[in-house]
Amino acid sequence: MGAFLLRRLATAIPTLLLIATLAFMLLHLTPGGPFDSDKVLVPQIQHAIEARYHLDEPLWRQYLRYLGELAHGDFGPSFQYRNTSVNELIAQGLPVDAAIGGVAMLIAILCGGGAGLVAATRPGGWRDRLPMGMAMLGISIPVFVTAPLLILVFAMRLHWLPSGDWVAGSWRHLLLPALALALPHTAYIARIVRAAAIEALAQPYIRTAIAKGLPTHVIVLRHALRPTLVPLVSFLGPALAGVLTGSIVVEQVFGLPGIGRLFVTGALNRDYTVVTGITVLYGALIIGFNLLVDLCYAWLDPRVRARA
Amino acid sequence: MTEPSAPLLQLRALSVDYARAGRELRAVNAVDLDLHAGECLGIVGESGSGKTQLLLALLGLNGAPARISGSIRYHGTELVDASAAQLGSIRGRRIALVSQDPMSALNPYLRIATQLTEGARRQLRLGRRAAWARAAELLALVQIDAPAERMRCYPHELSGGMRQRVTIAMALMSGPEVLLLDEPTTALDVTVQAQVLAVLRTVRERTGVATLMVTHDLGALAAMAGRVAVMYAGRLVELAGAQQLYGMPRHPYTAGLLRSLPRLDRPLPTRLPAIGGQPPDLADLPAGCAFSPRCPLAFGACAAPPALRPLSPGHLLACHYEGAPAAVAAAWR
């Protein structure tokens, strides 16, 4: 297991390097720069700014400088937010997304997983059709529709929850955005779990378990749950990396200071370091969560453990 | 053969129906059968003869699309349409099942110990240690060395033969009165088959468990069964004591099956004879005797379905042919 981890970490470094390089090059290839504007600046000021951010240097030198900083875990200074480093920006934005994303995924796993399991025990019955119909809706209605609807009902009509804004540590501010983000994931998870559970319950070893006279809940929880979790876990890895780095729509609708918005404004403003930094962070999270997924496989399935 | 008056299991007019793609098919067709305490009854037939469906019907395991009708009485208790709770108290505890394929019958995610003990811990209210001890004892009975070590294994760490012996031990955990064997040797290598059959004989000697063994292998049954029932297209076509059945089969189908077995006491033919044709489509059975299209003795009367009639005490036959018994075997030559 230790050797397996080391091997995976060793392959993660060149992968991240490649991501950083691609992001860096693509951004610098894009027309325009961080300090281009309609206002024509005095050439001396323009030069002074470019010199300060090393934009006057040849690209390969900027690239090497950036990699050097990156190696120390430094994403560099933001070009747009004066005197603020990308590390600071991420440190401000990430907890917002992590809180909302974490709660959203928790809701999605509990509700989606439960609905999927219930649906799988009686395929074709109303306990299957009702949740699966709702899941279909959850997948097809985009978040930019459900999020304003949630605000309309729970904030404007019922006045139960605030319509947006972010107050650190306030669960009331967290609930609506988390719910909006949870809906499509709940739907996906319900469908994945249903399909996986139906397949697991059709296995001959389930018939063995029934023939032993075990009650249904023992059969589902002890015999069918683990094989059901395998496809769920492989979905959750990238999905978690996705929600943790923020949902642009949810952040925009609820006015949250997350890194999703940071990323979009960064891209529009050619804030090179912000965009590259968030891209590398997302890549690192994907790699990290996929590693976690593989560890989960090994934990779930003894045959995988034997191979590792 | 002396038979005690009340059978353990009494099947009457047992049928299993399926509706598949709008077509009705009857996998098991009005079967009457008794299983007595301690005996081993074999059921043979080709694939699709309904033998496995019959076995599964005893525990209500056929699956959702199957409809079971008729009567299955265990000690007088009706099992057809029994409640889930009732079936739960019978399954494993009174009537236990050993499945055909030991590769898939064991859950690959759980340790052998968990799978062995979970039924008995619940049904016999055994503690962890007591259940472990019983499992180790039964693993020793099915000739598995170092039982304690094997119990910590996962199924993929055991060989096929070992896995099948584990499923046999698993079926015995709650001390059932009836053991259902669904082609227990079919998925195994020939050498392993012999080993598993030997284990099954030992198990029967030691526990006296009544056994219903379904197989298409008449050879495997010869060593086990006291009585043999032959099924064709969902119907019982012949039932007799093993000696009688192997020595002088009266149904042309039984005779055909026996002829296709290699015999040690006769010169080996260059090519083993087979019964010509295909088993019938259950959704589209011939009007009369289902075997008549493949039967060398078929004649006019076979256009009507034959009833199962007693030939002699303990010997039942469903065939219109009433000529000399020797002519039945001779018909295939």
Instruction: With beta carbons under 8 A apart, name residues in chain B contacting A222.
Output: 110, 114, 118
Question: Using one digit for the tens of pLDDT, what is the confidence trace for B165-174?
Answer: 999 999 999 9
More confident residue, A50 or B250: B250
| Residue A203: inside a domain | yes
Which of these ranges, A33-42, A104-113, B280-289, has the smallest mean pLDDT?
A33-42
Q: Which among B84, B91, B109 has the least Cβ separation from residue A212?
A: B91
Chain B contact probe: residue of A121, A201, A205 with most B CBs at under 10 A: A205
Q: What is the mean pLDDT of residues A40-59?
A: 82
- Interface check for A218 against chain B (CB to CB < 8 A): the answer is yes
B106·A215 Cβ contact <8 A: no
Decide if pLDDT at B277 tops 70. Answer: yes
- Interface check for B93 against chain A (CB to CB < 8 A): the answer is yes
Of B55, B37, B15, B1, which Cα lies nearest the Cα of B214?
A: B55
Helices marked H in chain A: 2-29, 43-52, 59-71, 86-121, 126-140, 143-150, 171-201, 204-211, 216-218, 225-244, 248-254, 259-268, 272-300, 302-307
Whole-number average pLDDT of chain B: 89
Q: What is the mean pLDDT of residues A183-210?
A: 93
- Interface check for A217 against chain B (CB to CB < 8 A): the answer is no
By residue count, chain A amounts to 308
Q: What is the mean pLDDT of residues B208-227?
A: 90
Strand order of the β-sheet with B9-20 is B23-35, B9-20, B67-74, B77-78
**Cβ contact A116:A189 at 8 Å:** yes
The C-alpha of A296 sits at a distance from chain B's nearest C-alpha, in angstroms, of 13
More confident residue, A127 or B114: B114
**Cβ contact B251:B240 at 8 Å:** no
Q: Which among A207, A213, A222 has the least Cβ separation from residue B92?
A: A213
* Torsion on CA atoms A16, A22, A27, A30, rounded to nearest 10: -170
Model confidence at A38, in pLDDT bands (50, 70, 90)?
A: low
- Other beta carbons less than 10 A from residue A224's beta carbon: 26
Q: Please state the ipTM of this predicted complex.
A: 0.89
d(CA B256, CA A35): 93
d(CA B33, CA B325): 24
| Residue A72: inside a domain | no
Decide if pLDDT at A282 tops 50. Answer: yes
d(CA B120, CA A119): 30
Q: Which among A208, A215, A302 has the least Cβ separation from residue B99?
A: A208
pLDDT, residue A136, reads 87
Give contacts of A 241-280 with B, CB under 8 A: none
Question: One-letter amino acid identity for B151?
Answer: M
Q: What is the mean pLDDT of residues B36-54?
A: 91
Instruction: With beta carbons under 8 A apart, name residues in chain B contacting A209.
Output: 107
Instruction: With beta carbons under 8 A apart, name residues in chain B contacting A215.
Output: 88
Radius of gyration of chain A (CA): 24
Q: What is the mean pLDDT of residues B47-69?
A: 89
pLDDT, residue A163, reads 79
- Interface check for A40 against chain B (CB to CB < 8 A): the answer is no
Whole-number average pLDDT of chain A: 88
Of A104, A83, A221, which Cα lies nearest the Cα of B110?
A: A221
* Domain containing residue A202: 86-307
Question: Using one digit for the tens of pLDDT, what is the confidence trace for A161-189?
Answer: 887 778 777 788 888 999 999 999 999 99
CA A240 to chain centre: 4
A222·B156 Cβ contact <8 A: no
| Residue A232: inside a domain | yes
pLDDT, residue A200, reads 92
- Interface check for A65 against chain B (CB to CB < 8 A): the answer is no
Query: What whole-number percentage of chain B has pLDDT above 90?
Result: 58
| Residue A51: inside a domain | no
Strand partners, B310: B316
Question: Using one digit for the tens of pLDDT, what is the confidence trace for B139-196?
Answer: 999 999 999 999 999 999 999 889 999 999 999 999 999 999 999 988 888 888 889 9
Place of tokens 């950036």: A66
Phi, psi angles (nearest 5°) of residue A159: 55, 30
Question: Using one digit for the tens of pLDDT, what is the confidence trace for B292-316?
Answer: 888 888 888 898 999 999 998 889 9
| Residue A251: inside a domain | yes
Which CATH number do you get for residue A202?
Answer: 1.10.3720.10
Question: Using one digit for the tens of pLDDT, what is the confidence trace for B221-259?
Answer: 888 899 999 999 999 999 999 999 998 899 999 998 888
- Interface check for A302 against chain B (CB to CB < 8 A): the answer is yes
A205·B118 Cβ contact <8 A: no
- Nearest C-alpha in A relative to B92: A212
B89·A203 Cβ contact <8 A: no
- Interface check for B320 against chain A (CB to CB < 8 A): the answer is no
Residue B233, sorted as left (phi over 0), alpha (psi -120 to 50) or beta, turns out to be left
| Residue A69: inside a domain | no
In chain B, what's the furthest Cα-to-Cα distance? 66
| Residue A76: inside a domain | no
| Residue A263: inside a domain | yes
Instruction: With beta carbons under 8 A apart, name residues in chain A contacting B99.
Output: 204, 207-208, 211
CA B240 to chain centre: 15
pLDDT, residue A174, reads 87
Q: Which residues of B99-123 are buried (b: 16+ CB within 10 A; e: fewer)?
A: bbbbbbbbbbbbbbbebbbbbbbbb
Enter the tokens of residue A306.
């034997």
pLDDT, residue B12, reads 94
The C-alpha of B58 sits at a distance from chain A's nearest C-alpha, in angstroms, of 10
Instruction: With beta carbons under 8 A apart, name residues in chain B contacting A221.
Output: none
d(CA A156, CA A162): 9
Locate the DSSP E strands across chain B: 9-20, 23-35, 40-44, 67-74, 77-78, 95-98, 178-182, 210-215, 227-232, 235-241, 309-312, 315-317
Place of tokens 């002519």: B327
* Torsion on CA atoms A235, A296, B121, B208, rounded to nearest 10: 90
**Cβ contact A218:B118 at 8 Å:** yes
Instruction: With beta carbons under 8 A apart, name residues in chain A contacting B65.
Output: none
- Interface check for A299 against chain B (CB to CB < 8 A): the answer is no
Model confidence at B264, in pLDDT bands (50, 70, 90)?
A: low
Query: What whole-number percentage of chain A has pLDDT above 90?
Result: 34
Decide if pLDDT at A280 tops 70. Answer: yes
Structural domain count, chain A: 1
Decide if pLDDT at B13 tops 90. Answer: yes
- Other beta carbons less than 10 A from residue B302's beta carbon: 21
Question: Using one digit for the tens of pLDDT, what is the confidence trace for B321-332?
Answer: 988 888 888 887
- Nearest C-alpha in B relative to A298: B109
pLDDT, residue B2, reads 47
- Nearest C-alpha in B relative to A200: B107
